[in-house]
Structure 1
């Protein structure tokens, strides 16, 4: 990684010069600290299609990259993915995805009663909650019902129009470029034209949009003049719009990023009232400063040339800092839109037949032709049903472009199309109209330290508070025992302690789907009635920075909704089909759940039944409960530290205590004494030959406690013990497998007109950058849209699309 430090005048390098003596050095130091404190994580979701019918499944692949170098991020493991209803402003569903070295996948099952409308899928980590939700990944989608064949979009003719002076401000007497942008209610660009009048009502200049509602004009404002602007959409009447304020003092710039492949040229200008001064130029990309240098600004205009070779692909920000360390002028440029990784998908035949196996080969290389290892995801859709052009965003355009700009970027992949000669000029207009979104220099200057209470999560977290029933703190630490029981009956016990205020936290957990959580609290050796409150992390607020795309009726949409409804109706009829079976008699021995937790034969044990006996819950501990109840078992001494001996069993050194166990696991006597009697189901006592299965450890007998919670059939919700609270908590999403029929092995008679033909969330290339994948075509004679996206292990985002014909 190189940094350039040069002193420039008239495009000539005069000397190598560090900016250590300039006030800008303090700004750079703050900038470095700011970027460390606000480390950027970049999530991205690859969805199988841009719109869905109620009752379908949204399939997604999750990527998380380091914002500085785009390598797969390993700091955060849980990724929170939410489905939002934008029309109602509510969260419909949330999934927690467990990332494996920055990669994961999941799905949302849409209920068939889901209201049609505008929805959004967004993703973020716990760390990202420290910052504005605009930094989250989000993608708008449309959910349709089966009455949606008519016009989908609202009718609203309102147009938004804005001017953007290059460099940030319009300065009197300085030649400037002003960009402008016109958008409709969906955020998409619209064609517009307009004119500017001076104070005498003379038309100074006329202008019109040239690309997706954007354009630019050259303009010089004069002191004492007042300007008014009027615009119209298509042939509508003109209306007045806000025009930038003309400042009498300041700096401006005009950037040429196209004429020279090796350098970016910048022409800086200052107003006459500003005395000659030494200014600093800082150029950074993704939080890394790649260029800094000084200019003696003694003339009205000074040109500067910045080499492009040291910059990575992506958005760069160039800022002029005056002699007092104040940022005065800045401009965004895009570096190396032609230097991106390439993925090639090849096939061995020109077209495929219906239900034929489609076999494809993947070859991924970087911008220099070197093979790339990485992980990728594949979505195959029926192009005659799904219009993928409604969302051209990809991991490549998002990581390099969209995530660095403010607001919605329409059709971003077009700017990376090497066949489009207008891609470069259009990208320059985009840089002029949509400002830097991650930070402002004012943020860097104003904040001594950034408040980041949300940490990088390495696993799932449980946090909460324990209080007295009266709502007050106990004022002392309480011991907290937590039992997690998953849907398969597996249990896990965790032990810890609260602080003096009753707060507790358990970090780095890993469990899937839904688990039951039982919290047992105790003060000292006594269980205390308490209130346990689990913190339920609230979802960050959300808005809509993306366009609500306009979906109109067409034959493809009609076909999609018809085929989807037919498929769903057929599936429902199959699930509702009842078949009468002959009588079947099943016989088996009664199951003893307690026997499954121990290795000894319980029929050889002497058992004290505790569960269901209210009298037994009055005993202080397990050993007091068996005292005097089992012949040959002697319990003597104080209740909080008794001595236990099974009569007739001793060693050469005298009487010895038995082996103590809880649910089949050996424990110390202190643990046995701490067990709440309300938790105990049974107590087994083994002596003599019955304990022989434990060898020498059982030579003094065995006292085995079987708890209620150790029983996989135990219902925690029925527990009402003192200090005990039960919750249910969702863990990581267990991803479903996308169903793909195998027509070679099973010639299904069911018609197949699926809109999503294949979904493969995990495709890994080898060291040669190659991988193979295959799927079966459907019954449709169509074109299949192949959409492959992914990230190499060294931080190269990749995206490509192609079509395959099926006859």
Structure 2
């Protein structure tokens, strides 16, 4: 019997093994692809698998790149995942930030992600100075892959055309060689960058001089504060950059040995790469690698065949949308040259054409059609912006773009019609990346961004802080209920503090500014209401604020100003998080014995009479103790109160509610008088907390009905407790930014302002029909300036489409 059971068991095991092997062989992981071949699939390491399989990129379209300081900045953001890009995101929160030239955070907003998209606006801080700034959009998860996966676009605020000229000014300028190396005896491309806040009127032309003050190259500058030049440095020679006013800046010394890495990125389908080696540099066992966020998308072995120059063509179809780093490495993995490159990714075709005769001079209609590479119509959602376009501001830029890019185009130049659209945008984006290589921080071979999770997915808004009751007792290991509410929405959550009284609220889902009220179990109101104190201690490092959690809650000192950020999030890892600074004053709860005055009037102490709770006095006694008040008829059933020197009726107010009082005032020159029977019936002597007397100007807030004076009676709250400042248990919280409708915004503007703004039309949700078509009607500028139409889309399968025309 035992042998029979063993035999059946052995048969079952063999059968199960065969089925498992067959299923495994039927699965196609396509390990021959470079992306998959470099990944180590260890299913026990869920973190590494998650990072490898969920790269998340953000793409950003700015509707109005040039605005005044009092205008909102409209935008549309798309999120995609890789390796096969999809318009999808596991994140629920998009962070949108405004940065100055130094990377300092000026404003941060939170936007809710829906279907992998966000539409909204960035409200500028007050008193913004004219200049160039940057808008940054990212999710918490996308930070795991480094800055290449973050969207960053430049904008202009205010009028830059009237900038002051530089006159013997001392300011910072950066001069960087393309590929990181300046090589003797070869043509080198250098990028010149001025700080955005010093992008002044005079920075338009320059030249490179040798040590004999002879010009060896011309420098072309652009409105974005960037310039570029091509020159051939000679061994042991020094060179300087000279501006129009004669200001000189030294250029780094050239190397005698090394490699140049030049890229022509202007073609929509391919990037052309030229690698130049010095005479004595090794030319074998070299590799060209394309990476982003620690993921390798491209790798090619190089063979110079005894030549000094090697040309490589890179198909952009193999790359998703975003910023990548090209690296030249040797057989040991040492980096010899590196350069960032921006790639649009797989593209849909967006065609924008005018329709109709154009008889109406006030508006114009355009048809937009979206197709794929096979010319098949695509039903999609477009974001379309239309701005004023002044041709004179673009003319020099277009000419310089053709001139400079032709030096490394390998004898190919795009047709002139494309200069002002894709080519110009790519050219400026390329310059910006090269000038910001150090800011972006190209990854070295030791950095593998997919090796560990530093930032988790964010499913909602968050805040972190210490919890106290209104007795200032730290609430350790306590369950707390939190309600966030405003006029439109309510959110309720529950959280438990840790042993240090620290709580972290997450997944807060509310739009707009809300009030946070927190409660817990307790014997009285003070024990039940909870005061959340956001993490108050900060460490500043490299212009970035790092939250610091005090291990000892006693370190939170009372009465001292502290810096806090509200709202903010803290991940479990130790990382730097940029936060906005707000100065608040930390203070203990002010203990008050009585209900505060409802009217904020500072009365003399002798005109406020408090009840003695242990030995209560009658209402008549309290009134009689007020100066200038005479109580008559105490021994009768109809006592009266008079105010000496007052004229007109007396008003009675109980707990903020004025009472209808019968009777009239006395004649001129005599005291005002009021019967007390109804007041004595309404208010019990023991219920009186205090009585205040208002006379003359103080009583004017009640009008003519109180010309004879006002008696304000405050009653007790039914117990012996002191007044409880309930606002101490409230916290103002910034929820998701509410999207502003552009048409409603434009209608709210004055006629003069409406004619001045550059943004004429903005629709972030334009739907195409089954034929891939949609039409828009645009109001034409009254000043007869041109218009620039830009459109973008990302289909559900991650295909990107962008177009721009000038008309």
- TM-score normalised by the chain length of structure 1: 0.55
Change (3 A) 1:389 1:512: farther
Residue 376 of structure 1 and its aligned partner are, at CA, apart by 2.4
Equivalent runs, 1:177-326 vs 2, <5 Å? 177-181=188-192, 185-186=198-199, 190-197=204-211, 206-209=216-219, 212=222, 213-219=227-233, 221-222=234-235, 226-234=236-244, 236-237=245-246, 239=248, 241-246=250-255, 249-252=257-260, 264=272, 266-269=274-277, 272=280, 278-284=285-291, 288-294=295-301, 301=308, 303=310, 305-306=312-313, 308=315, 311-312=318-319, 317-326=325-334
**Does structure 2 retain, via aligned residues, the 8 Å contact 1:280–1:294?**
yes
Tell me the secondary structure at the aligned position of residue 727 of structure 1.
Answer: strand
Asked if the contact 1:373–1:768 (Cα under 8 Å) also holds between the matched residues in 2, the reply is: yes
- Alignment match, 1:124: 137
Q: Which has the higher contact order (CA 8 A, sep 6+)?
A: 1
CA distance in 2, matches of 1:5, 1:103: 29
In the alignment, what sits opposite 2:730?
726
Aligned to 1:686: none
The answer as to whether partners of 1:215 and 1:429 remain within 8 angstroms in 2 is: no
Hey, what's the Cα distance between the residues in 1 that align with 2:389 and 2:311?
A: 49
Tell me the distance in 1 between the aligned counterparts of 2:308 and 2:290: 19
Q: How far 1:207 sits from its partner (Å)?
A: 1.9
1:478 aligns with 2:482: no
Give the secondary-structure state (helix, strand or coil) at the position aligned to 1:499.
coil
Q: Structure 1 residues 367 and 152 mapped into 2: Cα distance closer, same or farther (>3 Å)?
A: farther
Tell me what 2:591 maps to: none
Relative to 1, partners in 2 of residues 1:103 and 1:437: Cα closer, same or farther, differing over 3 Å?
farther
2:79 aligned residue? 65
Find the counterpart in structure 2 of residue 532 from structure 1.
532
Q: Does 1:785 pair with 2:787?
A: yes
Count, aligned residues:
564
Question: Structure 1 residue 229: deviation in Å?
Answer: 0.9
For residues 337 and 777 of structure 1, what CA distance do their matches in structure 2 show? 33
> 1:525 Cα deviation (Å)?
12
| Residues 1:306 and 1:107: Cα distance change in structure 2 (over 3 Å) | closer
State the match for 1:552 in structure 2: none
Pair 1:499 & 2:537 matched: no
Is the partner of 1:228 in helix, strand or coil? coil
- Give 1:74-89 correspondences, 5 Å limit: 74-82=89-97
How many angstroms does 1:441 deviate by? 5.9
Q: Summarize deviations over 1:36-71 as a string: whole Å, max 9, x none.
A: 4994532525233612264xx425123033375775
Distance 1:267 1:352 in 2: 55
| Counterpart-to-counterpart distance in 1, 2:433 and 2:754 | 48
CA distance in 1, matches of 2:746, 2:127: 31
Aligned equivalents of 1:291 and 1:254: distance in 2? 17
| Alpha carbons 2:465, 2:502 under 8 Å: kept | yes
Would the aligned equivalents of 1:480 and 1:520 in 2 still touch at CA under 8 Å? yes
Among 368, 393, 414, the alignment partner of 1:362 is 368
Shift of the 38–324 alpha-carbon distance from structure 1 to 2, 3 Å rule, reads: farther
* Aligned position for 2:154: 139
Q: What is the CA-CA distance between 1:740 and the residue it aligns to?
A: 6.6
Q: Which residue is equivalent to 1:588?
A: none
Distance 2:176 2:325 in 1: 16
CA-CA distance at 1:513 after TM superposition: 1.8
CA distance in 1, matches of 2:530, 2:157: 47
Structure 2 partner of 1:169? 181
Paired residues of 1:253 and 1:269 also in contact (CA < 8 A): no
Q: CA deviation at 1:186?
A: 0.9
For 1:457, the equivalent position in structure 2 comes to 458
Q: How much does 1:5 deviate? A: 10
CA RMSD across the alignment: 5.8
Equivalent positions of 1:517-528 (< 5 A) are 517-522=516-521, 527=527
Q: Return the offset for 1:480.
A: 0.7
1:214-249 deviation digits (Å, cap 9, x = unpaired): 221345x54xxx221134334x548462332435x5
Higher helix share: 2
Cα distance between partner residues in 2 of 1:95 and 1:429: 28
- Which residue does the alignment assign to 2:351? 343
Structure 1 contact 380–787 (Cα < 8 Å) conserved: yes
Q: CA deviation at 1:262?
A: 7.6
In the alignment, structure 1 segments of 5+ residues that lack a partner are 7-17, 21-31, 398-412, 544-611, 616-680, 683-717
SS at match of 1:377: strand
1:99 aligned residue (113, 118, 129): 113
Cα distance in 2 between the residues matched to 1:133 and 1:336: 13
1:521-670 aligned within 5 A: 521-522=520-521, 527=527, 531-534=531-534, 536-537=566-567, 540=578
SS at match of 1:280: strand
Deviation at 1:208, TM superposition (A): 1.8
Name the CA distance, whole Å, in 1 between partners of 2:465 and 2:763.
39
Q: CA deviation at 1:74?
A: 1.6
Aligned to 1:371: 377
CA distance in 1, matches of 2:430, 2:324: 15
- Does the Cα contact within 8 Å between 2:86 and 2:798 map onto a contact in 1? yes
Whether contact under 8 Å (1:266, 1:304) holds in the other structure is: yes
Radius of gyration: which is bigger? 2
- Structure 1 distance, partners of 2:138, 2:746, is 38
Structure 1 residues 741 and 494: CA distance shift in structure 2, 3 A:
closer
- The aligned residue for residue 736 of structure 1 is 740
Return closer, same or farther for 1:135/1:104 CA change in 2, 3 Å cut-off: closer
How is 1:766-781 mapped onto 2 (pairs within 5 angstroms)?
766-774=769-777, 780=782
**C-alpha distance in 1 between matches for 2:298 and 2:148:** 30
Go from structure 1 to structure 2 and tell me whether the alpha carbon gap of 1:33 and 1:427 turns closer, same or farther (over 3 Å shift): farther
TM (norm. structure 2) is 0.55
In structure 2, C-alpha distance between the alignment counterparts of 1:90 and 1:427, rounded to whole Å:
24
CA gap of 1:541–1:187, structure 2 versus 1, over 3 A, is: farther
Q: 2: CA distance between counterparts of 1:765 and 1:519?
A: 47
Residue 440 and residue 376 in structure 1: after superposition, are their counterparts in 2 closer, same or farther (change >3 A)? same
- Aligned equivalents of 1:301, 1:509: Cα separation in 2: 60
Match of 1:352, SS state, is coil
Task: Please give the per-residue CA displacement for 1:737-767, whole angstroms capped at 9, x wherever unaligned.
Answer: 3347999xxxx99998464443323212244
Instruction: Give 1:415-430 correspondences, 5 Å limit.
Output: 417=418, 430=431
Secondary structure of 2:87's aligned partner:
coil
Q: Is the 8 A contact 1:263 1:306 kept in 2?
A: yes
Contact 2:188 2:230 in 1 (8 A): yes
- Counterpart secondary structure, 1:417: helix
